[in-house]
Amino acid sequence: MRMRQAVLQALDDALADDESVILLGEDIAEAGGAFKCTEGLLAKYGPDRVIDTPISEMGFLGAAVGAAVCGLRPVVEMMFVEFTGVALDQLTTQAATMRYLSRGQFQVPMVMRASAGAGQGFGCQHSQMLDHWFRGTPGLKVCAPSGSRTAYGLLRAAIDDPDPVVILEPRILYGEREEVDFDRNFRLPLGAAEVVRRGADITLVTVGAMVPVAIEAAKLTSVDVEIIDLLSLWPWDAAAVAGSVARTRRLTTLEEAPRGVGWGGDVVATIMSEAFASFAAPPHRITLPDAPVPYSGGLEARYLPSPAYVANQIDVLVTQGRTPSPWWKETI
């Protein structure tokens, strides 16, 4: 099953299981979605529940807030996460504070799904993860799947959740296949990480499209890497990371984010603070440079961490016992 099909399956099952679920977004009904994540749902559930909107992100994201306050469970598709920019107020300022301001009398059980991330030549205004726009907002949850199974499990859990949830779906993974075995009751708890590879030498914490990169990287190094897929970026599973680091005594993040805004800053600071005695080496972060996403193919391939680059960073860190420089400093 491709990841886009898993998203479609999750939406289909949610619409069938709960009549309060509605979908909103640009070209999601008649056209089935720019990435075909809602194909066929209009015919099955009708135009009152699968709703095409004008190109009016503030309008339909805000409408989701209002519908959610009144008991519906809207799932908004944001075609590219950057399009949230013109609508951010409705999510981070309005949706996120509704419960707080109403002292729990109103809740906003809505989901915003957005395609996100680099690697396909969409240029700097259509290639970012932008989790930092949402992460750390009190009242908002943020997660990102790394394949078909996690896409289904997170989306179903997000739709069930009583609070607003942002799901950043790595666009580059929509077409990726994964053998899956789950039923319609499958959920991944929000805020919980998963260990996707056991290892003894270093804990690599990552999320989204970097998970498959980490798995490939682990095959290219003799270092025994433990890979944790955070799945949720806010709140994130500090206990899982701390527990792993207690065994491996080393930590690196792998982030599809410019260094200055990457979630790894928080992960490293938190784990260092809570488990300082665990560390046998300084914690490390593998990130993007603090630069916009370049269009040209060769540059974008360099911009994103590759398995070979990640493996090399791990080798230097663990085998040579020193902190590697990022590629843009080129002093390795």
**Footprint of another protein (CB under 8 A):** 26-27, 30-31, 34, 52-59, 82-83, 85-86, 120-126, 289-292, 294-300, 302-303, 328
Nearer to another protein, 32 or 264 (CB): 32
CB of 292 to another protein, least distance (A): 7
Classify 76 as helix, strand or coil: strand
Q: What does the longest C-alpha to C-alpha distance in the chain come to? A: 61
Pairing type for strands 225-229 and 194-197 reads antiparallel
Catalytic residue among 26, 57, 77, 82: 57
Nearer to another protein, 119 or 145 (CB): 119
CB of 38 to another protein, least distance (A): 12
Nearer to another protein, 2 or 302 (CB): 302
In whole angstroms, give the CA distance from residue 304 to residue 294.
Answer: 10
The reply to whether 126 belongs to the active site is yes
Please give the order of strands across the beta sheet that includes 165-170.
50-52, 21-25, 73-78, 111-116, 165-170, 141-143, 232-234
Nearer to another protein, 33 or 191 (CB): 33
Tokens at 322, concatenated: 């020193």
CB of 56 to another protein, least distance (A): 5
Judge if the upstream peptide bond of residue 235 is cis by omega within 30 degrees of 0.
yes
Catalytic residue among 26, 77, 82, 126: 126
CB of 188 to another protein, least distance (A): 30
Contacts of residue 128, defined as CB under 8 A and 6 or more positions apart, other chains included, come to 81, 82, 116, 117, 118, 293
Q: Which residues are catalytic?
A: 57, 126
